[in-house]
């Protein structure tokens, strides 16, 4: 039993008078109130001096392709994943610029997620509607986000194709409306299936699910387009030589240029919480898209070790997919993430910096965006800033590339995907052990 009773914590009128009197005594509040009436909080408390040590110069700087634009969608993890693959494919094709169809992968992600979610609901039909796991599944529903292993499952099953084989549509670039329809359909299925389950009409539940899968395919095809069965690969290489390969399937294209190479990549995380020891692997219940695909599996490591592995991979001219929380301390115009850029303490007296462990445990932070690390600046062997390939278009930052300070990286980066060849013997052995299964709502199960 708590020592506190919230009924005793009400605000009295006398306390409200005291709050206002104390506010009026501080002239700084007048200045802030005037400034904030016409200006955003970040712009008012921005610290311009923070830019001094964050120039766009890096000791390790990979020459990667032009940034892409996910527009009004949450497909960053797909964009980042395809940006990793296109660098591999681009080198093999000997081309300067190349873009894979994000819409093609996203189409099948949505279809697989719908099937995954409907199947999860069916598995939980013996529970009440307010069962926490069922509530979590229905509350989060089907969205645009994902994890690396979910991306790998998709491209291994369906392959990839050039962007011109399945171009963007209005709906693929702005997915809110279709997501609302999909999730309303899933929740109605849960309600209807629950009634049928109590009546032991199991065949009707399966028939209803199959019918909804067809309707979902129709909706996705109408919104995003029909995925191509074959395409022609047409390009001009760096030597100005024209190439044309006809009637490729997306799976053939993937198998030829990537294939089993994708299985060499492993998710590593930094979750410094007591329930997640380092050098252990973790998976998350009811997280995924392709039911028959590989589970989402994270190897938890110290941040120092993660940075060491990332730097080794970058030093070998290989970019790194990673997941971060980008909700705080960001400047979209300059393209800088830096914890020194905004001064909340001087303006409001609020100390909003607390440990990574506590941020995870108390729901203040978790991964919400995936990007690609393409460079790092080392001073005396230590990283003081990182070069980031974003997917928010080329009209912000340095033609769409961002800079992340060392402190921001330590505080808000939660996941990286690296080639297993950069892991040591102890880490590789940890991957052989059965992962600990975390609850569906664990912060390491959040989607980029």
Residues tagged active-site: 76, 369, 390
Q: 300-303: long-range contacts at Cβ-Cβ below 8 A with a sequence spacing of 24 or more?
A: 300/268, 300/269, 300/270, 300/271, 300/276, 301/268, 301/269, 301/270, 301/427, 302/270, 302/272, 302/278, 303/270, 303/272, 303/410, 303/413
Longest CA–CA span in the chain (Å) reads 81
164, 115 contact by CB (below 8 A): no
Alpha carbons 157 and 128: distance in angstroms, whole number: 35
- CA–CA gap between residue 204 and residue 208 (Å, rounded): 6
Which phi and psi angles does 444 have, rounded to 5°?
Answer: -75, -5
Distance between CA atoms of residues 211 and 192, nearest Å: 14
Contact 104, 251 (CB under 8 A): no
| Cα–chain center distance at 377 | 24
Distance between start and end Cα atoms, the chain: 38
In 3D space, the residue among 423, 148, 443 whose CA is nearest the CA of residue 305 turns out to be 423
The two three-digit tokens of residue 97, written as one number: 């610029």
């Amino acid at each position: 039993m708590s020592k506190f009773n919230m009924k005793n914590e009400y605000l009295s009128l006398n306390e409200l008078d005291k709050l206002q009197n104390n506010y009026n005594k501080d002239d700084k509040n007048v200045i802030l109130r005037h400034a904030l009436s016409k200006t955003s909080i970040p712009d008012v408390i921005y610290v311009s001096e923070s830019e001094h040590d964050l120039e766009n110069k890096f000791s390790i700087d990979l020459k990667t392709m032009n940034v892409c634009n996910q527009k009004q969608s949450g497909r960053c993890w797909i964009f980042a994943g395809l940006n990793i693959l296109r660098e591999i494919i681009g080198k093999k094709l000997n081309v300067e610029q190349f873009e894979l169809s994000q819409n093609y992968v996203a189409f099948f992600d949505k279809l697989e997620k719908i099937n995954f979610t409907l199947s999860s609901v069916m598995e939980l039909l013996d529970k009440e509607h307010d069962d926490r796991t069922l509530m979590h599944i229905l509350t989060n529903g089907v969205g645009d986000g994902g994890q690396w292993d979910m991306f790998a499952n998709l491209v291994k099953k369906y392959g990839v194709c050039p962007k011109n084989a399945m171009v963007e549509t209005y709906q693929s670039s702005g997915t809110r409306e279709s997501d609302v329809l999909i999730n309303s359909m899933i929740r109605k299925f849960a309600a209807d299936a629950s009634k049928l389950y109590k009546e032991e009409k199991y065949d009707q539940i399966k028939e209803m699910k199959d019918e909804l899968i067809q309707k979902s395919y129709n909706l996705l095809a109408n919104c995003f387009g029909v995925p191509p069965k074959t395409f022609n690969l047409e390009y001009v290489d760096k030597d100005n030589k024209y190439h044309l390969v006809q009637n490729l399937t997306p799976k053939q294209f993937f198998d030829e240029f990537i294939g089993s190479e994708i299985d060499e990549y492993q998710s590593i995380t930094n979750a410094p919480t007591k329930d997640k020891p380092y050098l252990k692997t973790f998976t998350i219940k009811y997280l995924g898209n392709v039911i028959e695909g590989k589970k989402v599996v994270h190897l938890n490591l110290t941040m120092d070790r993660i940075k060491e592995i990332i730097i080794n991979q970058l030093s070998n001219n290989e970019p790194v997919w990673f997941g971060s929380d980008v909700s705080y301390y960001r400047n979209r115009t300059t393209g800088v993430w830096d914890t020194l850029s905004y001064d909340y303490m001087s303006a409001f007296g609020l100390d909003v910096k607390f440990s990574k462990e506590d941020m995870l445990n108390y729901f203040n932070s978790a991964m919400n965006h995936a990007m690609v690390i393409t460079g790092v600046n080392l001073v005396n062997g230590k990283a003081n800033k990182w070069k980031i390939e974003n997917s928010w278009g080329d009209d912000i930052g340095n033609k769409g590339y961002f800079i992340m300070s060392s402190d921001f990286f330590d505080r808000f980066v939660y996941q990286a995907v690296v080639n297993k060849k950069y892991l040591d013997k102890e880490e590789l052995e940890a991957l052989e052990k059965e992962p600990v299964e975390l609850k569906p709502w664990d912060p390491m199960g959040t989607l980029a």
